């Protein structure tokens, strides 16, 4: 199989799409959760009681990684990789790769941005633990765009028909 054949192979393209959905969304979430976690650890050294609140805020940027996995799973399901009967044409593979892009790219950047918002929301609960909901809302504003990207990816995959 030549190189050109490989990169135009439908299975390869679809699997590449599934991979980048997991890789980029996961990388973003790892970074976002990390940023929030650092801030949370700083808070816990002073206020160990607020562990539960800090944990909620830290978990928020983690959803992009899950959305990435979700899209990867849907792609793999679509091409029949999980059931073992893989059948996908080049064009279909390329379309599935395209479907992975929204959640991969938006997931990556939104998770990091959300991690920063979560970190500063941890600053809110350091001073005013009763204002947790507002911090969560700020972080959720960022997540909106990850959700829209997830939705775009979902709808594209759902709309594609893969016959092989």
Q: What is the binding site for another protein (CB under 8 A)? A: 56, 59-60, 62-63, 66-67, 69-70, 73-74, 82, 130-134, 136-137, 139-141, 143-144, 147-148, 150-151, 154-155, 158
- Which residue, 22 or 39, has its beta carbon nearer to another protein? 22
- Which residue, 59 or 89, has its beta carbon nearer to another protein? 59
- Residue whose C-alpha is closest to residue 33's, from 1, 61, 68, 64: 61
Which element (helix H / strand E) includes 86? Answer: none
Q: Is the dihedral of CA 73, 19, 12, 157 positive or negative?
A: positive
- Residue whose C-alpha is closest to residue 96's, from 24, 164, 27, 2: 164
- Which residue, 4 or 161, has its beta carbon nearer to another protein? 161
Which three-class secondary structure state does DSSP give residue 159? Answer: helix
The distance of closest approach from Cβ of residue 140 to another protein in the complex, given in angstroms and rounded to an integer, is: 4
- Which residue, 90 or 109, has its beta carbon nearer to another protein? 109
Q: Give 124's contacts (C-beta < 8 A, 6+ positions apart).
A: 131, 132, 134, 135
The distance of closest approach from Cβ of residue 150 to another protein in the complex, given in angstroms and rounded to an integer, is: 5
The distance of closest approach from Cβ of residue 147 to another protein in the complex, given in angstroms and rounded to an integer, is: 5
């Amino acid at each position: 199989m030549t190189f050109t054949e490989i990169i135009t192979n439908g299975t390869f393209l679809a699997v590449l799409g599934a991979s980048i959905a997991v890789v980029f969304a996961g990388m973003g979430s790892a970074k976002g959760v990390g940023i929030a976690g650092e801030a949370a650890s700083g808070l816990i050294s002073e206020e160990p009681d607020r562990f539960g609140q800090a944990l909620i805020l830290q978990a928020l940027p983690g959803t992009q990684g899950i959305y990435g996995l979700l899209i990867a799973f849907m792609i793999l399901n679509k091409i029949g990789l999980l059931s073992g009967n893989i059948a996908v044409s080049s064009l279909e593979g390329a379309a599935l790769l395209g479907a992975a892009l929204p959640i991969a790219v938006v997931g990556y950047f939104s998770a990091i941005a959300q991690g920063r918002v979560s970190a500063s929301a941890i600053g809110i609960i350091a001073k005013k633990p009763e204002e947790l909901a507002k911090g969560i809302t700020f972080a959720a504003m960022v997540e909106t765009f990850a959700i829209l990207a997830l939705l775009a990816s979902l709808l594209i995959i759902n709309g594609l028909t893969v016959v092989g």
